[in-house]
Amino acid sequence: MKFSGLTLFALALVLAAGGTVSSQPNRGIDHFSGFDHIQAADIQMNMGTGDFKIPSRFTAVRSGTDITADIGAGNSKKKILHAIGHVLVHQNKQFGTGADATKVTQEPSTLTCDKLDADGTRKFYVATGSVHFTQTNRDMTSNGGTLDDVNHVLHLEGDVHVRDKDQYVDADVLDYNTQTGELNLHGTPATMRLPAESPAPAGYDHIQATTINWNMTGGDFEIPTRFTAVRSGTEISADEGDGNSRGKILHATGHVVVHQEKQFGTGNDVAKVTQEASTLTCDKLDADGSRKYYVATGNVHFTQVNRDMTAKSGTLDDANHLLHLEGDVHIRDKSNYIDADTVDYNTQTGNVDMHGAPAKIRLPVESPAPAAPKTQATKKPKKGR
């Protein structure tokens, strides 16, 4: 360890006495408490115990990382630093080694908070109060968190909010890989708020679940628990799902329910119903959020007003208001029945186009009215002679 401005003779006297020394103004200390250099107007340290105080704003530097704060304290032997007040942790862009020396392995980032406890040996930071983390286009805030610089994991807790361009996340707990951009969300529930439909159809307004794993770089996500995906007029729920937020693709599996609200006209027809509410259920659903196109597989069941339809599989083209059903199709509309191999159904007009070998329409059979019961004439008793 090197002290600027102190002679070796003076340093030896202090060490022998186990006393406290101070660095000269703005000179700093090298190789101290897990950092290459700490610079401040004043640093007070007990050489015997290793305890130190920094009563003014300081900067602590090690390869790739700078920490600044209003005041600090810690222990140089344990390589512990406590930073308080307007804390800023900046990490430079990181590169690979050897043949990958020009490859970026981690983008630069900045973490700010009210208080930071830094373990110089483990490169582990505990941030408290008004935590704010930024990296490339990502902006994250929370009540508290930790940064594990060895394993490249940022852990945030309490009122967590994330923004990545036009994508948003709300959660109670978040784990973020600072190298890969992968997110693991937990909440009650956690919410992914994806781009709204402006001006063309695209994605979902938000997705809610207790757990969401999301790679914010590539857009791939997994939802291992029951979830709800919502956009204006449409709600999808299922046992689990996965997809890509940038491609607006969602795969839903298990007890899938797609509910669409009643639709109305615009302008002078704002009170006119243009499409009745409907519900589609199936075992598996592949949804293209950009095209509003759904592929349903397994135990497909569609209901709208008095109409009830079942099939092995089908597609719903929401942009063109067309439901296509295939395989053992059965339809009931009040007391009317249809059996076919293939059915195309317009969800706005109610028109049905059937195909089959053969397609059948079973209409109500009018039963004859019950005949009135025959009555037998009663014989009058004969008068006695």
Name the 3-class secondary structure at 91. Answer: strand
Just give the CATH number of 226-366.
Answer: 2.60.450.10
Tokens representing 131 are 């935590």
According to the model, what pLDDT value does residue 82 have? 97
According to the model, what pLDDT value does residue 101 have? 56
According to the model, what pLDDT value does residue 63 have? 79
According to the model, what pLDDT value does residue 97 have? 63
According to the model, what pLDDT value does residue 247 have? 87
According to the model, what pLDDT value does residue 334 have? 83
According to the model, what pLDDT value does residue 22 have? 54
What span, in angstroms and rounded, lies between the C-alpha atoms of 126 and 114?
11
Mean pLDDT of residues grouped by 10 in the chain (385 residues)? 39 43 57 76 89 94 90 92 96 69 73 95 94 93 95 95 86 93 86 56 72 87 92 90 90 95 71 82 94 95 93 94 94 88 93 82 64 62 59
Q: pTM of the entire structure?
A: 0.71
What span, in angstroms and rounded, lies between the C-alpha atoms of 260 and 235?
7
What span, in angstroms and rounded, lies between the C-alpha atoms of 8 and 30?
15
According to the model, what pLDDT value does residue 362 have? 74
What span, in angstroms and rounded, lies between the C-alpha atoms of 49 and 294?
68
Strand 263-264 and strand 65-69: the pairing is unpaired
What span, in angstroms and rounded, lies between the C-alpha atoms of 83 and 142?
18
* Domain chopping of the chain, boundaries: 226-366
The answer to whether 71 touches 84, Cβ cutoff 8 Å, is yes
